[in-house]
Amino acid sequence: MVATDGGRTVEVQTSPDHAWTELGDDEVHVWIGSLRRPPARLAALATLLNADELHRTRVLPSPTDRRRFLVGRGQLRLLLGRYLGTAPGAVRLIRLPNGKPIVASSAGRAPLHFSLSHSGEQVLYAVTRTGEVGADVQRFRTDMDWRGLASRFFAPAEAIQLRSGERASGLPAFYRLWTRKEAMAKADGRSLFWWLGTDLSSDRTPGWRLWTWRLPAGVASVAVRIPGWAG
């Protein structure tokens, strides 16, 4: 699927195993995939992980979380390896002090920015050379007090909008805003709390491009910093 928004193209592919990896300098590629993989595939993906990732896989208490982390990182490496023209296992990933994983820079090339997010069995990857990127996917949860969360943490205008139902209402509208805030926080490194209180209901956010998709049982958003973008 290819989505366009205000002139900039966003490519949405359904499987990160796809062989297609040409990335234009002003493109953002967004991949939505699954974390469910058969055992043989898990073993193959595990061979791609570095020592830090294998350690993190091992210490996760639940088998489901172990599988999800392994597949999320293994598929990430396949994807990045193709964009970088490198063997997946040789992609140099480092972790910033705040936990954000990045590709170690290589001289003479525009950095490859990426972000990954998972929710349940769904995984979202965003890759670009344009600027810092953040991605967030959330499955709908109906067992939480989203109205209370919005009233307490969201910007006043957003909370009013959610209550009035003018622009959009209900759980999907809450998750639209929530994923936009997570995506912005993951892109720029500021705390999620800062973004929770920032009004992101508008499609225009100066210095940023922000896209949101409604999924069958959730919402996904991707934010990319584009200095000078008027919004």
Ligand X SMILES: CC(C)(COP(=O)(O)OP(=O)(O)OC[C@H]1O[C@@H](n2cnc3c(N)ncnc32)[C@H](O)[C@@H]1OP(=O)(O)O)[C@@H](O)C(=O)NCCC(=O)NCCS
Binding interface with ligand X (CB under 6 A): 69, 72-73, 98-101, 115-118, 136, 182, 185-186, 191-192
For residue 7, the minimal CB distance to ligand X (Å) is 27
The rounded distance, in Å, linking the Cα atoms of 101 and 223 is: 16
Q: Between 54 and 192, name the residue whose CB sits nearer to ligand X.
A: 192
For residue 128, the minimal CB distance to ligand X (Å) is 14
- Residue 56's nearest CA partner among 7, 5, 103, 95 is 95
For residue 182, the minimal CB distance to ligand X (Å) is 4
The rounded distance, in Å, linking the Cα atoms of 104 and 82 is: 16
Q: Between 11 and 182, name the residue whose CB sits nearer to ligand X.
A: 182
Helix or strand or coil: residue 111?
A: coil
Torsion sign across C-alpha atoms 76, 129, 178, 6: negative
Q: Between 70 and 159, name the residue whose CB sits nearer to ligand X.
A: 70
CA distances from 191 to 36, 154, 181, 197 (A): 31, 14, 10, 11
Q: Between 81 and 101, name the residue whose CB sits nearer to ligand X.
A: 101
The rounded distance, in Å, linking the Cα atoms of 19 and 203 is: 32
The rounded distance, in Å, linking the Cα atoms of 132 and 59 is: 29
For residue 95, the minimal CB distance to ligand X (Å) is 8
For residue 112, the minimal CB distance to ligand X (Å) is 14
Q: Between 53 and 158, name the residue whose CB sits nearer to ligand X.
A: 53
Whose structure tokens read 């998709």?
Answer: 213
- Provide the strand spans (E) within 14-146: 28-34, 93-95, 101-103, 113-119, 122-128, 133-139
Q: Between 24 and 192, name the residue whose CB sits nearer to ligand X.
A: 192
For residue 79, the minimal CB distance to ligand X (Å) is 13
